[in-house]
Amino acid sequence: MSGFLTDAYLWFKALHIISAMSWMAGLLYLPRLFVYHVEVHAESQEARRFSVMERRLLRAIMNPAMLATYIFGVLLLATPGVVDWSSGWIWLKILAIGVLTGSHHAMGKWRKDLAEGRNTKSQRFFRIANEVPTIAMITIVIMVVVRPF
Ligand code: HEM
């Protein structure tokens, strides 16, 4: 098993980066859609169109991309010699992954609330929510590439 993981390491890393990019695309764009969505009347045709776009983005792109990021990330973790658990960067990366996963689930709830006309959040709230995955992504990339500690 460990020989297979070592042989496939670069392929798994490439697939991990591709899926993480797709997941991030959704995490950064979905709150932007919420910002535009709250601007329009809740019962309008435009609101319904935003709901369809939001549902498709979450179900067709973000959910599978998150799953794939986790699967390939865990395969990389299991590859011998890739992660030294005594270094700090991996722990901060795991914390930032927790923030991304929490943001993903919160966005799923906000999407449902908007689609069912139960949203109570403001446009300003969604603008601020947009910054959370941005900061987590910057943290992750610095951790995996620079590994400062
Ligand atoms: C979801 C759970 C995740 C796990 C378990 C995980 C785990 C890992 C592991 C073990 C590596 C290999 C490090 C190495 O080859 O030295 C890696 C590489 C990488 N990860 Fe993740 N990761 C996850 C999520 C993410 C996310 C969300 C992003 C981007 C926002 C990301 C970006 C990267 C990048 C860019 C690399 C390549 C670093 C390099 O070797 O230059 N990962 N990941």
pLDDT (0 to 100) of residue 87: 96
The string of pLDDT tens digits covering residues 94-137 is: 999 999 999 999 999 999 999 999 999 999 999 999 999 999 99
Q: Domain range for residue 52?
A: 2-145
Helices and strands counted in the chain (H then E): 5, 0
Mutate to test the pocket of ligand 1, among 22, 62, 69, 146 (most ligand atoms within 8 A of CB): 69
CB 123 within 8 A of CB 39: yes
Q: Is 3 exposed, middle or buried (0-12, 13-18, 19+ CB in 10 A)?
A: exposed
**Positions in the chain short of pLDDT 70:** none
CB 96 within 8 A of CB 140: yes
Note the pTM of the prediction, 2 decimals: 0.94
pLDDT (0 to 100) of residue 24: 98
pLDDT (0 to 100) of residue 73: 98
Atom of ligand 1 nearest to the CA of 145: 41
pLDDT (0 to 100) of residue 1: 78
Q: Is 26 exposed, middle or buried (0-12, 13-18, 19+ CB in 10 A)?
A: buried
CA separation for the pair 40, 21 (Å, rounded) = 30
Task: Name every protein residue with a CB atom under 6 angstroms from any ligand 1 atom.
Answer: 13, 16-17, 20, 24, 69-70, 73-74, 76-77, 82-83, 97, 100, 137, 140-141, 144-145
DSSP state, residue 116 = T
φ, ψ dihedrals at 16, nearest 5° = -65, -45
Give me the number of domains the chain comprises. 1
pLDDT (0 to 100) of residue 2: 83
CB 129 within 8 A of CB 119: no
